[in-house]
Every structure is written in structure tokens, then in C-alpha cells.
Amino acid sequence: MASFNKIVIVGYLGRDPEIRYTPQGTAVCNFSIATTEKRKDRAGEAQDVTTWFRVAAWGRQAELANQYLSKGRQVYVEGRLRQEEYTDRDGARRQSLEVTATEIHFLSPRGEGAPGAPFQQPSGQNDDDVNSAGRPDEEIPF
């Protein structure tokens, strides 16, 4: 039987994306996404529980994420979840989870405008430009 690893996140960026390039010139963009859900505590009071996800996008998708995303913007990310091991400053071995993005949809406009407002195609781009999902911009469903 085959195995499957897929995660879908809809949340808000906690900080501006950071882009860097590998020695081979491949772009990689890192950002964090927060999701919030309401849960009741033991006393029955509603509490907001926030979960943070670290995300890495690669190639053209990384460049688009860096260009159009910013802190506070809403985004949809599909990807693969992977576990990393590292050694912290104190020498202790740690593990963390990171999402490697396979698809990104920008749900908030870049710059000014309220979340959910229509996406504005940047000037100087034509309909042959593709979005992060590899489809022409006119196919973006918002």
C-alpha cells in the first residue's frame, strides 16, 4: 500500500517572509503561519488556541511568496510535513516540524486593502504570468 503525507493550512503570516538562495541559485522562502481555534477550558470559558507552522517554499513559488506575502496576510498552503532534528545552543537534540509547500494561494491582497478584497494583478505582468499553483492568474478563484 502506498503512503501519503499532505497538510492543508489556512492562516495568517506571523512575520514577513525571508528569502535566500542556495549556492546553485534556487530560491527558498521561509515564513510562519498561525491558525487559531476556539476551545473551552475546564471552567467552560472559551479560549483561543494558536498553532504555529513553519513553512518553506522553493523555486518560483518562493519568489512569488516573498513578493506577495507579508505579516498579517491570510494564505492557504498545501504541502508535505517533515520532521527535522537539530542541536540547540545548549547542545540538546531537538526536533521540529516544517511544512514544505507544494501549493500556495494568496487569500489577502498585497499592500493596502482589507482581507478578502479582490486580488490586484501587479502592473507590468500579463496574463501569461502564472500564480504559485502554476496556473494563469485569471484562474485564481478570488
Domains recognised in the chain with CATH numbers: 7-139 (2.40.50.140)
**CA 37 distance to own-chain centroid:** 18
How is residue 116 written as a grid cell? 478578502
Find out whether 74 and 115 touch, Cβ atoms under 8 Å.
yes
Residue 76 or residue 120, greater confidence: 76
Residue showing cell 547542545: 91
Answer whether residue 112 shows pLDDT above 60.
Answer: no
Confidence of residue 100 (pLDDT cuts 50, 70, 90): very high
Residue 108: φ, ψ to 5°: -115, 145
Taking the C-alpha atoms of residue 34 and residue 31, their distance in angstroms, rounded to an integer, is 10
Rounded to an integer, the average pLDDT of 17-27 is 96
Q: Where are the beta strands (DSSP E) in the chain?
A: 7-13, 18-21, 27-40, 46-58, 74-87, 93-106
Residue showing cell 527535522: 84
Residue 2: φ, ψ to 5°: -75, 160
Residue 57 or residue 133, greater confidence: 57
Question: In the chain, helix, strand, coil percent, each to 5?
Answer: 10, 50, 45
How is residue 101 written as a grid cell? 509547500
Average of per-residue pLDDT values in the chain: 81
Answer whether residue 135 shows pLDDT above 70.
Answer: no
Confidence of residue 137 (pLDDT cuts 50, 70, 90): very low
pTM, to two decimals? 0.69
Taking the C-alpha atoms of residue 66 and residue 17, their distance in angstroms, rounded to an integer, is 6
